[in-house]
Amino acid sequence: MGEILFQNTLSGRKEPFEPLHAGEVRMYTCGPTVYDFAHIGNFRTFVFQDVLRRFLRSRGYRVRQVMNLTDVDDRIILNSQAAGIGIREYTDKYIAAFLEDMRTLSLEKPETIARATDNIDAMVSLVETLMERSYAYKSDGSAYYRIAKFPGYGKLSKVSFSGIQAGARVDVDRYEKDDARDFALWKEHKPGEHFWETPIGPGRPGWHIECSAMAMKYLGPTLDIHTGGVDLVFPHHENEIAQSEAATGKPFVRYWLHAEHLFVNGEKMSKSVGNFYTLRDLFARGYRPSAIRFLLASVPYRRQLNFTFDGLLQAANSVERLRNFVDRLKKEKLPATSAVAFGERIEEARRQFEAGLEDDLNTAQALAAVFDLVREVNSAIDRGEFATADTPAVLQFIELFDGIFAVMSGDDAAKLRELGYAVESAELSDEEIEAKVAERQQARQRRDFAASDRVRNELAEHGIILEDLKDGTVRWKRK
Ligand code: AMP
Ligand code: ZN
């Protein structure tokens, strides 16, 4: 296996990946702000992170991933007040929904999931450290970060600050600051708002300090990987670097990996534009978790992905093709031996697959390696040239693939039923099946194997398995 390369936003280059501590990867992921249901744009970023951790684990690394849940911010305070409940009660509901969505999309659970409001102490002590080192100052009841004191500011986002005028708004909050660029670490208590009584005064944390405090609390001063969507590069991640490195004097993150956005008709999918779908929206329209996951994982994370329903249908077909393929390998009667050996070809596919993922998680290349092999093996089976001797190696390769893409093993229908969606059983009558089988026989007689495969796949979608018998007839059965 080759070396793993990651495109590091900090250096702007692809760099060979080596964790700081041998065999262990410490990774921090900015989690959702739990004021509402997450949309599939958010899940594009979370699926990328899951593919990343599964890939690293497949290479033998132990992964220690921390994901935060931002359960206090302006929107949460406003919405919970409007609902007449506390912020904790308000966010509990969306946290439960998020965790459920993670399971539905087969996202592995990070080793630590931390709520911001459970970690206020760590944030307060980080602000205190920054004040002791004069990187932070109090103004009225709030605390701000003094950007002028941190020369590295801008190194991640490459944003130049020379053009920013005094008085220009960089932060959303309107407080008294020494410099327009300075951002809030701690926000003064306002009447009626949720607050914590702390040694730095009553109030609540800013968003940026949350992530620095929790990342370093659980993973130490230097992390291997920090991930998020590209919208977080500036100011959020730039501010995380400024806070963390000013406090510890050590590099905060070695590899910064940012996912490009999911788009709809040329615009970023977002709550504020209103062009978003939640998983619930798509399930209600009959789409399956595995198809959604496949679609989100299929485009390499550094490329924008345009969401369309057509793309989602194609993703569903791709998953179906793979499932049918495995069914066929396991159930069809294959010759014990063949003049054509596939061992070398399977090994080549595996190399291509690994090489794709090694190249900054190029999932498109990895998938191409899988589907090329599937096509070749399918036609070899059609020709009677694929022998059972090669079956275990193919299945092993598919297992490696699914350990990372995780689209084949889950039972979509069962998951959806558990979530309360009606799933059609899509039963075909015996007559309908017989008609399809005859249609496939005719296609095979005119050697139109594409058409015959299509019918086979269609039947497989309805849970019908075909077995080609030696005498040229076909036996079918329900799964
Ligand atoms: P939020 O809940 O807004 O804090 O976002 C959670 C994660 O989703 C962050 O890593 C964002 O960068 C990411 N994100 C938000 N919108 C999109 C989108 N349209 N496509 C991909 N990732 C997104
Ligand atoms: Zn964050």
Question: How far apart are the CA of 281 and the centre of ligand 2, in A?
Answer: 27
Question: How far apart are the CA of 205 and the centre of ligand 2, in A?
Answer: 13
Domain boundary among 224, 259, 294: 259
| CATH number of the domain residue 407 falls in | 1.10.730.10
Q: What is the CA radius of gyration of the chain?
A: 26
Question: How far apart are the CA of 29 and the centre of ligand 2, in A?
Answer: 7
Q: Which of 310, 294, 300 is nearest to 260 (CA)?
A: 300
Domain total of the chain: 3
Report if residue 12 sits inside a domain. Answer: no
- The protein residue with its alpha carbon nearest to ligand 1, atom 17, reads 41
- Residue at 200: amino acid letter: I
Domain range enclosing 55: 22-259
45 and 131 inside one domain: yes
Each residue of 333-376: pLDDT tens digit?
A: 999 999 999 999 999 999 999 999 999 999 999 999 999 999 99
**pLDDT at res. 315:** 97
DSSP string for 153-214: TTTTT----TTPPTT---SSS----SSTT-EEEEEE--TTS--B--TT-SEEE-HHHHHHHH
Report if residue 228 sits inside a domain. Answer: yes
Measured from the alpha carbon of residue 257, the closest ligand is 1
Domain boundary among 413, 438, 469: 413
- The protein residue with its alpha carbon nearest to ligand 1, atom 14, reads 42
329 and 442 inside one domain: no
Question: How far apart are the CA of 43 and the centre of ligand 1, in A?
Answer: 8
204 and 92 inside one domain: yes
- Residue at 315: amino acid letter: A
- Cβ–Cβ < 8 Å for 116, 214: yes
Measured from the alpha carbon of residue 207, the closest ligand is 2
Distance CA 173, CA 187 (A): 9
Domain boundary among 202, 226, 259: 259
The structure's pTM equals 0.88
Question: How far apart are the CA of 207 and the centre of ligand 1, in A?
Answer: 15
Beta bridge partners of 229: 259
456 and 368 inside one domain: no
Half-sphere exposure of 318 (CA within 13 A, CB side): 23
Q: What three-state secondary structure class fits 123?
A: helix
Distance CA 226, CA 240 (A): 11
Q: Which tokens in the block code for residue 128?
A: 């205190």
- Cβ–Cβ < 8 Å for 376, 322: no
Ligand 1 binding pocket (C-beta < 6 A) is 30, 32-33, 41-42, 44-45, 228-229, 231-232, 259, 261-262, 268-270
89 and 225 inside one domain: yes
28 and 168 inside one domain: yes
- The protein residue with its alpha carbon nearest to ligand 1, atom 2, reads 32
- Please give the number of the atom of ligand 1 that sits closest to the Cα of 231: 12
Q: Which string of b and e fits 154-191 if b means at least 16 CB within 10 Å? A: bebbeeeeeeeeeeeeebeeebebebebbbbbbbbbee
Please list all protein residues whose beta carbon sits less than 5 angstroms from ligand 2, which is an ion: 30, 211
35 and 110 inside one domain: yes
Distance CA 84, CA 36 (A): 16
Each residue of 230-279: pLDDT tens digit?
A: 999 999 999 999 999 999 999 999 999 999 999 999 999 999 999 999 99
**pLDDT at res. 435:** 87
111 and 252 inside one domain: yes
Give yes or no for residue 423 having a pLDDT over 90: no
